Structure formats: structure tokens, C-alpha cells
Amino acid sequence: MEKHSIVESVLDNLPVAVFAKDATDSFRFVLWNKKQEEVTTLRAGKAIGKNDYDLFSQESADYFRSVDKAVIQRGSLMKVPEEIIETKNGREVHLRTVKIPVHDEETGRLLVVGISEDITEQVKSREQLERLNRHLVQANEELQRTQLQLIQAEKLESIGRLAAGVAHEVKNPLALLLLGVDYLSQGIDPGDPNVATILTQMRDAVDRADRIVRGLVDFSSQRALTREATQLDRVVDEVLLLVKHELTRSNVKVSVRIEKDLPIVFLDMSKFEQVLINLIINAVHAMSGAESKQLKIRARAETLEGVVRNEGARTRELFRSGDRVVVLEILDNGTGIAPADAGRLFDPFFTTKPTGLGTGLGLSVARRIVELHGGLLILENRGKEPGAVARLLLPTKIETGKVRTVAQPGKIDEPSKKVDTKTKKLAP
Amino acid sequence: MARKILLVDDEAGFTELLKMNLERAGGYEVRIENDSTKALAAVRSFMPDAILLDVVMPGMDGGDVQAQLQANPLLARIPIVMLTALVDSTELSEGAVAQAGSQMVLPKPVNLPLLLRVLDDILPAETAA
Ligand SMILES: Nc1ncnc2c1ncn2[C@@H]1O[C@H](COP(=O)(O)OP(=O)(O)O)[C@@H](O)[C@H]1O
Ligand SMILES: [Mg+2]
């Protein structure tokens, strides 16, 4: 008796949980010390005489039993570096356990004795550390990405400056040429029909050169956007007005479906109009051989899911799962995209159109403008149906930081009082 | 009475051709000034009804010329049409035209029919021929 109570009080004062199960009696618990009570929140009185299935979940009990059996079978000590038990109040306790087979010579019983150390705090701080480390890695990656973007932006800026300089120098002689053509056009010799043709071609040539130069500058321009809160349906209406002539002339039927109450987007109106015009004109060109030409414009709001796993690198940089975006699609039933061209569509000067019809700058400019808006532009085949779809993803919250880094400060909210860009669009 | 137009641009060929075109369009008396530093004097002596002003010029640029005109109450009311080979109109807002009130900006190459319409718009009816 004396001996027994000494052992018991030693066991109860150990800083580790100790228990024993009788393998010869359905693995019923025969020993359950104080620390084991604490860890499991189960009193010894409740546990002694019960087995794992009486006390723990089926899943946990299965696991404990399999380890116990292995210990008996091997007849030697086994270490379980980490096991988790869930207490009655739902708390998870992490344990490091050693299980030892003990043969009680006196009674002939075979016992599994377990000694568990509560390592919950250690695990918690390890997880914390891992989390911190992940954040650090992420921050570092972001930093590297930003640096790359900056280098890219710098390159573009010097190209931009060069392009703007060249543009200015080229536009002056073009201006002179055009005025010459204007003057000569008035005094055409009615006897020679070739003169009129020549002058028209000269005018077209000037116009083409001008467009290319402007496209180049647009492409490399790092200028600030003048963004304002905009309702997408209004932009679409305005753009359709601008291309109406082109659409009716080419016999294109248009259907517009824009979800009600779309979130506000932040757009530089004139630049964004340029994007939509480029995309619509491309669609019209692609449909030139189609029997009934159908242009569809669709817009809806979407919450992105699974971005990280499913999309390309571009999406990953711009959007995260859970982001609310506005998706605008321009669908045509034209030729679609040949697989061989798919990778090059957005390259500057890539065009499949005859000289004079395409500069090959439309898509690259459009993508740049969209990306300056923090958005994404994709062009792909519709899949089931013939034709292509241009898909625009626009963020619904403005990321001022992102915009301002490439922009000159103080330009974003400035109302566009100064120059009426619309004068350019007036037809003569 | 013909409407008097002063053309200020350092490109002699351009001004000459624009002058020919305006004169043939009819109703315009055009004077050319290729040296922007003399633009102010030209305005004083010619007293045009409108000024067509290049933006990028050696010496004084279009913005400087405009600022000088604006400083003189007698000359400030003469309407100015800026002609520019700068590509993007947003560029204008930073430099030359930033403080400008209500003048027009036309890109080069100049769309002649558009220019004629603009001139019709801004020139007061009573000075028209
Ligand atoms: N909606 C579309 N359907 C099929 N192909 C298209 C479509 N939009 C663009 N493309 C292809 O992408 C090329 C590049 O387009 P873009 O950069 O706008 O230049 P451009 O229109 O001047 O050729 C086009 O020449 C065409 O081959
Ligand atoms: Mg195009």
C-alpha cells in the first residue's frame, strides 16, 4: 500500500502525461496520471477501465490502437513525434508521445505505457514562425516584381521620349505635305483623272504615316491617366456612337447587354474609348467575310475565384481571389484567331491585314492602356462558336499607389478642362 | 473686309502653304511670322483678328508668345489657335497651354476643313467679309 502511494504521487507530480493500457484486456486504461487528466480534460475516475473508443473519436481511437498494436508486436519502444487530440471543449492539444511495451511478470499482463509531452505551445510558435517566413518570402517576391516593373517602365519611358521626339519631327513635314495636297486638290486638271487618284493616295499616305507615329507614341507613353469614376454602360454608349458609321457601313448588327448596377470603374475616358474602338474595329475587320455579322458587347460584375491556380502570370500579378472585377466582352463571329498567330497578336506591328488597313499597333496600345488602368486584356477564340472574344477585366477599386508610381503626381483627379480632345474626332 | 490672320510658325514651308490655302479659301488676309521673337511686334503692327500659333519653336515657344499677348489687355482678346505636332493633347496641358483660357488646339498635320470651320467659329461675325 505504502509503495503504491509513493509511485502514485511520483506519477502525479511528473510534468508529463503518463497512462497505461492493458493489451490483454481490450486495451482498457489502467493508469491515468494528473498531467494526463489536464491534457485530455478527462478525470482518471472516468478513464480507468475504459478504452480509447469510449473516450475519443473513432478516427483518433483507430490511430491510437494501431500504434499500440505495433508497439506490442515489435516488443520495443515507439516514438510518435506529434499527435493531436481534440479535447471535449474543442481545443487541439499537440503531443509528443513515447509508447513502451511492459510485461508485468506478476500478473502476466501486457501493458502499453505511454508518456506524452504537451508541445502545443511549441507547435504554435513554430507555425507562427512559418507564417512570418511565408509573409517575408511573399514580400520579397513582390519587391522583385516591382523592381522588374520599374526597370520595364524606365525602358519604356526612354523609348517614349525618343518616339515623341521623332513624332514631332515627322509630323511637321507631314503637315507641309498635307497642305500641299490640299492646295493641289483644288486646281485639278479635269482632263487628267490620274491627278485626283494620285492626290488621294498621297493624302492617305500622309494619314497612314501620321497614324503610325501616333500609335508608336501611344504605345510607349507612360503618361498619367486622368481617371474618373465612370459607369461602363455610358462609355459603351459613347463609343458605339463614335463607331456607328463604321458599323452601319459594314453591315454589322450590334447587341449590347450590360448587367444592371455594375460597380463603378475608374477610367481615363478618352484613352479607354480608344481601347474599345480598337477592339471593335478589329472585330469588324475580322467579320468582313462573314455572312451575317454580329457584334456582341457584354458586361458583368464578377468575383474572381481561384485566380492563383488557374490563370496566367499576368492575372496573378494584378488580381487576387476574391477581387471584385467588371468583365467586359466584345464578341464577334469573324475568322477567329489562327493558332500560329495567337502568341503574337499583342506584339507591336504584328498585323495580318494588308498595308494601309492595319498598323499592328491597335492591340498593343489597347493592352498598355488597360494595364495602366490596373486591368487585363485577353483576346481568344470563342471556342464553341466561331469568332473571337476580347475580354477586359477591370478592377472596381482604384489602386492609387500603382497608378501614381508611373504617373506624374497631381494629374489623376484634375478635371480635363484644358484641351478639348474631342476636336480631333470631329469629322471635317 | 477680309479677316486678318497672323501665322506664327518657324517652318517657312508650312506657313507658306497654309497661307496659300487660306487665301484660296477666300476672305482671309494672311501674314506670316517665322521668327517667334518678332511675333509680338507683328501682332502690334498687323492687329490680326486671329492668330495661328505653333507650340514648339526655337527661342520663344508658343506658350511664351501667348503669355506676352495675355499680359497686354489690348492684345489679350485676340483669339489664338494653337497648332502643334506634339502628339498627345495631354502633353500640351503641362507646358505651353496650361494656363490658357479658352483657346483651341489643333494637331498637325492640320485638317484644313476643320481649321476653316474653327476660324469661322471664333471670328466675330461683324469682321467677316
Ligand atoms: N477580333 C479579332 N478576330 C480575329 N483576329 C483578330 C481580332 N482582333 C485582332 N486580330 C488579329 O490581331 C492582329 C493585330 O491586331 P492589332 O494590333 O489591332 O493590329 P491591326 O488591327 O492594325 O492589324 C490583327 O491583324 C488580326 O490578325
Ligand atoms: Mg486593330
The pLDDT, as a whole number, for residue A398 is: 59
A280 inside domain: yes
Query: Distances in Å between the alpha carbon of A131 and those of A83, A126, B24?
Result: 21, 9, 78
pLDDT per residue of chain B (129 residues) written in tens, 0 to 9: 789 999 999 999 999 999 999 999 999 999 999 999 999 999 999 999 999 999 888 888 888 999 999 899 889 889 999 898 876 544 443 333 333 444 678 888 998 988 998 888 888 654 444
Q: Measured from the CB, is residue A349 less than 6 Å from ligand 1?
A: no
For residues A147 and A79, membership in a common domain is answered with no
Q: Which residues of B touch A179 (CB under 8 A)?
A: 14, 17-18, 20-21, 109-110, 112
Distance between Cα A353 and ligand 2 center (Å)? 9
Q: Which residues of A touch B24 (CB under 8 A)?
A: 183, 186
Q: Do the beta carbons of residue B14 and residue B32 sit within 8 Å?
A: no
The ligand that comes nearest to the alpha carbon of residue A363 is 1
For residues A44 and A140, membership in a common domain is answered with no
Give residue limits of the domains in chain B.
Answer: 3-122
Q: Which residues of A touch B94 (CB under 8 A)?
A: 408
ipTM score above 0.85? no
Per residue in A297-333, pLDDT (tens digit) is: 999 999 887 654 334 445 545 677 788 899 999 999 9
A416 inside domain: no
Grid coordinates of B14: 508650312
Q: How far is A174 from chain B (nearest CA, A)?
A: 6
Per residue in A171-226, pLDDT (tens digit) is: 889 999 999 999 998 877 777 878 888 888 899 889 888 888 887 777 766 566 77
A425 inside domain: no
Phi, psi (degrees; rounded to nearest 5) at B62: -55, -35
- State the Cα–Cα distance between residues A369 and A33, nearest whole angstrom: 71
Q: Measured from the CB, is residue A51 less than 6 Å from ligand 1?
A: no
Nearest chain B residue (CA) to A268: B90
For residues A284 and A356, membership in a common domain is answered with yes
Cα A427–B2–B5 angle (5° rounding)? Answer: 60
Q: Measured from the CB, is residue A378 less than 6 Å from ligand 1?
A: no
Q: Measured from the CB, is residue A345 less than 6 Å from ligand 1?
A: yes
For residues A155 and A89, membership in a common domain is answered with no
The pLDDT, as a whole number, for residue B93 is: 38
Q: How many Cα atoms occupy the beta-carbon half-sphere of A415 within 13 Å?
A: 1
Choosing from A93, A118, A143, the residue where a domain stops is A118
A366 inside domain: yes
Q: Which residues of A touch B21 (CB under 8 A)?
A: 179, 182-183
- Supply the CATH number for residue A179's domain: 3.30.565.10
Choosing from A67, A83, A118, the residue where a domain stops is A118
Mutate to test the interface with A, among B108, B117, B119 (most CBs of A within 10 A): B108
Nearest chain B residue (CA) to A410: B94
Grid coordinates of A263: 460597380
For residues A82 and A220, membership in a common domain is answered with no
For B82, the 3-state DSSP assignment is strand
- State the Cα–Cα distance between residues A285 and A288, nearest whole angstrom: 5
Distance between Cα A278 and ligand 2 center (Å)? 5
| H or E stretch at A395 | strand A388-395
pTM of the model: 0.51
Query: Distances in Å between the alpha carbon of B90 and those of A167, A276, A390, A415?
Result: 15, 20, 28, 12
Query: Nearest Cβ partner of B21 from A179, A214, A408?
Result: A179
Q: How far is B126 from chain A (nearest CA, A)?
A: 25
A55 inside domain: yes
Q: Measured from the CB, is residue A375 less than 6 Å from ligand 1?
A: no
Phi, psi (degrees; rounded to nearest 5) at B99: -90, 0
Q: Measured from the CB, is residue A348 less than 6 Å from ligand 1?
A: no
The pLDDT, as a whole number, for residue A371 is: 86
Sequence-separated contacts (24+) of A210-216 with Cβ below 8 Å? A210/A171, A210/A174, A210/B109, A211/A359, A212/A359, A212/A361, A213/A163, A213/A166, A213/A167, A213/A170, A213/A171, A213/A174, A213/B87, A214/A167, A214/B87, A215/A359, A215/A361, A215/A362, A215/A365, A216/A163, A216/A166, A216/A167, A216/A348, A216/A361
Q: Measured from the CB, is residue A386 less than 6 Å from ligand 1?
A: no
Full domain range(s) for residue A365? 129-395
- State the Cα–Cα distance between residues B24 and B26, nearest whole angstrom: 5
Give the list of residues 6+ apart from residue B56 with CB closer than 8 angstroms, or none.
Answer: A168, B62, B84, B85, B86
For residues A217 and A174, membership in a common domain is answered with yes
How many Å separate Cα A233 from the centre of its chain?
25
For residues A331 and A222, membership in a common domain is answered with yes
- Residues A128-157: what's their mean pLDDT? 80
A404 inside domain: no
Give the list of residues 6+ apart from residue B64 with CB closer than 8 angstroms, or none.
Answer: B36
The pLDDT, as a whole number, for residue A115 is: 96
- Supply the CATH number for residue A36's domain: 3.30.450.20
A407 inside domain: no
Grid coordinates of A52: 480509447
Nearest chain A residue (CA) to B15: A176
Percent helix, strand, coil in chain A (nearest 5)? 50, 20, 30
Mutate to test the pocket of ligand 1, among A363, A379, A382 (most ligand atoms within 8 A of CB): A363
Q: Which of A51-55, A58-62, A227-231 is most confident?
A: A51-55
For residues A57 and A201, membership in a common domain is answered with no
Q: Do B93 and A176 touch (CB under 8 A)?
A: no
Per residue in A385-417, pLDDT (tens digit) is: 999 999 999 998 754 433 322 223 333 333 333
A422 inside domain: no
Mutate to test the interface with A, among B11, B30, B88, B119 (most CBs of A within 10 A): B88
Distance between Cα B42 and ligand 1 center (Å)? 51
Our count of domains for chain A comes to: 2
Grid coordinates of A404: 501614381
The pLDDT, as a whole number, for residue A65 is: 95
The pLDDT, as a whole number, for residue A196 is: 85
Nearest chain B residue (CA) to A214: B87
Concatenating the DSSP letter of every residue in A142-198 gives HHHHHHHHHHHHHHHHHHHHHHHHHHHHHHHHHHHHHHHHHHHHHT--TT-HHHHHH
Domain B3-122: top CATH class: alpha beta
Distance between Cα A351 and ligand 1 center (Å)? 6
For residues A100 and A200, membership in a common domain is answered with no
What is the number of the ligand 1 atom nearest to the C-alpha of A281? 21
Grid coordinates of A326: 467588371
Query: Nearest Cβ partner of A172 from B11, B87, B98?
Result: B11
